[in-house]
Structure 1
Amino acid sequence: MAMGIPGPSELDEAEKPSSVAERPSVRLRESLETLPAYVPGAAGSSPGVYKLSSNEAPFPPLPAVLTAIADAAEDVNRYPLMYADRLAEAIAAHHGQPADRVVVGNGSVAVAELIIRAMCEPGDEIVYAWRSFEAYPILVQVAGATSVQVPNSPDGRHDLEAMAAAITDRTRIVILCTPNNPTGAAITQTELLAFLDKVPSNVMVLLDEAYTHFVRSADPIDSFALLSDHKNLVILRTFAKAYGLAGLRVGYAVARRRLARSLRTASTPFGVNGLAQAAALAALGQQRLVAERVEEIVAERDRVVAALRQQGWETGDPQGNFFWLPLGDMAGSFATDALTAGVTVRPFQGDGVRVSIGETEANDIVLELTARWVARAGSDAGDTIRVGGSLQG
């Protein structure tokens, strides 16, 4: 050893490197330390278990979509169009809008995240109903903004009066989810117009219409008819539900030109892969077949809901491709029983259970299960009672 250079045994204890465990660790922002985790719908744990937990379409992909994916696969060594330009143009034409008002992203959740990130700074507030889509609080917290959650009315509808009253000088965005996920209630055109009149023009109204194709209410929203008079309105839609492309992640927003241009600039480069762009473009060209599939789901939803009401359940007026059972603290028990029966559902412990409309066989399994729960409620000596049509422990 060279003269004057001490060996390891000669180092003073204070000069020795600390152990890895003692070194300072990389830290996330404090607001992310308590970030709620998104809980996906459970998959079937064994063959023969139907998945009714993620509001997916129960049909296989359209033939035109499969062909488009196969053709696009030949070019996966190339980057896709940066902003999904061809798809954006087709979406715009479908809705009768200019193409420069459309922003396409990696699912509507990613587009919502982009909007929130572009709009909000720490301290800004975002108002939304609760319970609603469980990604909202995550997106808000990641952006450093503050959630202002307004409880739904007892029938699962947005309390629009309370939401309007919750707007302050710090509010940047109000999110409306219609039909609301997971309760299924839909806002009407009359209600939306009245609400928009109460919202300051500098507050964005983000209208999340993921399930709009399934709405059959007497006064459905015509969101695109409102864009010209309400420049703070942004429409959010997805290809995951009615078009059956949940696995490819394609969504879009329609907004005023200046905002759309800024959002595209701030978006992830090449954020929508080439296979997804091709599939969505093909699906958009299959409106007749898509509409037929949607009608099948709506008819099956109506059949199931009618049977549930006959059993004595309070289901509200579900307008999505799912329905809601207000089971409260018994949500987890119902989900466990459902899995044993052969289906997965989505429990929200303390609130209720969301059940997707799936194959007829799967829906019949659910109806058999709900009938057993009602029968048990009527025979139990006290553990389970019926309250207002729902079951409470």
Structure 2
Amino acid sequence: MSTNTASPLPPLEPPAPRGTNRGTTGPSPRPGIAMLPGYSRSAGKASVRWIASSNELPVPPSRAVQDAVAAAAADANRYPSLAGDNLVAAVAGRLGLEPGQVVAGAGSLALLQLLLTTYTGSGDEVIYAWRSYEAYPILVGVTGAAAVEVPLTSATRHDLNSMAAAITTATRAVIVCSPNNPTGTTIDHEELMDFLNRVPAQVLVILDEAYREFSLTEHDSTHLLKKYANLAVLRTFSKAYGLAGLRAGYLAASQDIAANLRRAAPPFPLSRVAEAAAIAAWNEPDATAQTISRIVDERRYLSAQLRSRGIEVPESGGNFVWIPAGDRALELEAACLAQSVSVRAFDREGVRITLGEHGATTAVLAAVDSMGAAVHTTSGTLCTLT
């Protein structure tokens, strides 16, 4: 006769009174989530005259875009299109793509997250340049994949040779940011093609072109989709189209990649308002070109003024200029705030200045002149600010 020696089950706890918490801790996130870096905030943005810290346009949307927003908002009781269908059709038509190659989303950042969560996960590696867009390590970390950061060259450009050499059997994706945020440096068409030829076909190449319009390039990288089935191109309406507050963007890729993303994506990626605004802005290429020209002129002016002071700023293809201030980045940020302009400082690296109002540019130059000290140049030497 056997004897059961197992301990009896503990008695059930009585239900907790309403409004009380049974324990002191709640659910825990997946391993690694708590260690993710936070997205930085620019100092003093709410108390300055000029905002040069967020890569926004300094002007509101056109009257046509505002009218489209108002009309869409009047029907806010109705769901938007299932997949941003009208915007997809408009984008595909102009770019000469099939609608099945275009995916719409709430900005290129949301589409990047969709790409990474669809194609990468635990045990995989994702390669990107560093310093680059600060959301990359956050989004890669969320997927559970391992980030492989390849340092920029001394000229703050992508080191594509080293990035290609870093690819292993565990690599599932490579992110290329051109123009690079925050340094503004670009990758030319021949460099990109050479890199794509070196990446294995099973590795996804994500080309982040959030600032493409400001680079004034003659080549449209979406034409490469015919040759490279592992390429996905990200673009946004937040920058050149001035819709940062509405969150709209698109992705162009092979039909297979796009179909997989649509399977993984929740429905209704764009609000009615965001889709209507994006279509209206898309249909104003002349107005967009005029805005871009104004920003590029301001970029040339600020870059020339900084160089005349002995500061070697890299050639920028974005709506911003990078000052390689090194250990004095936070000091330069504080000097700018004292001139009532917010900028984005990256501690011990540099300061990114968004182009827009000429008054902001003048304020930044006054801040630079007020320091009377030295900053790091792209060659790694030192130069005086005054």
TM-score, length of structure 2 as denominator length: 0.91
Q: Counterparts of 1:343 and 1:389 in 2: how far apart (Å)?
A: 25
2:5 corresponds to which residue?
none
Percent identity of equivalent pairs: 44
Q: Report what 2:4 is aligned to.
A: none
Deviations 1:22-77 (A, max 9, x none): 5553111111010111114446332x520000111111211110000011111001
Q: What per-residue deviation string (whole Å, max 9, x for no partner) do you get for residues 180-220 of structure 1?
A: 00001000111101111110010011000000111146xx5
Q: What is the distance in 2 between the residues matched to 1:261 and 1:41?
A: 37
* Gapped regions of structure 1 (runs ≥ 5): 1-14, 379-383
- The whole-number CA distance in structure 2 between the counterparts of 1:231 and 1:92 is 17
Tell me what 1:56 maps to. Answer: 56
In structure 1, C-alpha distance between the alignment counterparts of 2:92 and 2:23, rounded to whole Å:
56
The residue that corresponds to 2:328 in the other structure is 330
2:123 maps to: 123
Once residues 63 and 349 of structure 2 are traced to their aligned partners in structure 1, the CA distance between those partners, rounded to angstroms, is 39
Q: Deviations over 1:250-285 (max 9, x none)?
A: 011101112111211211221211100000000000
TM-score (normalised: structure 1): 0.89
Alignment correspondent of 2:10: none
Task: Measure, in 2, the Cα distance between the counterparts of 1:339 and 1:101.
Answer: 44
1:53-92 aligned within 5 A: 53-92=53-92
- Asked whether the 8 Å contact 1:385–1:391 carries over to 2, the reply is no
The CA deviation at 1:316 is: 1.2
> Per the alignment, do residues 359 and 23 of structure 1 end up closer, same or farther by CA in structure 2, a change over 3 Å counting?
closer
Q: Report the equivalent of 2:8.
A: none
> What is the aligned partner in structure 2 of residue 8 from structure 1?
none
Contact 1:327 1:391 in 2 (8 A): no
Cα distance between partner residues in 2 of 1:335 and 1:112: 29
Amino acid paired to 2:28? R
Contact 1:105–1:250 (Cα < 8 Å) also in 2: yes
Offset of 1:172 from its aligned partner?
A: 0.6
Name the Cα RMSD after superposition.
2.3
Structure 2: distance between partners of 1:87 and 1:385: 44
Give runs of aligned pairs for residues 265-276 of structure 1, distance below 5 A.
265-276=263-274
Distance verdict in 2 for CA 1:177–1:323, change over 3 Å: same
Equivalent residue for 1:104?
104
**Which residue in 1 is equivalent to 2:46?**
45
Instruction: Report how far residue 303 of structure 1 moved.
Output: 1.0
Aligned residue number for residue 7 of structure 1? none
Runs of 5+ consecutive residues of structure 2 not aligned to the other structure: 1-12
Name the SS for the 2:127 alignment partner.
strand
Give the corresponding residue for 2:149.
149
Deviation at 1:102, TM superposition (A): 0.4
Structure 2 equivalent of residue 3 of structure 1: none
Q: Distance in 2 between matches of 1:42 and 1:21?
A: 40
Q: Pairwise mapping of residues 143-292 of structure 1 onto structure 2 (< 5 A)?
A: 143-216=143-216, 221-292=219-290
Aligned residue pairs, count: 371
- Cα drift, residue 391 of structure 1: 6.4
Query: 2:370 corresponds to which residue?
Result: 372
From 285, 294, 297, give the equivalent of 1:296.
294
Which secondary structure state, in structure 1, belongs to the residue aligned with residue 175 of structure 2?
Answer: strand
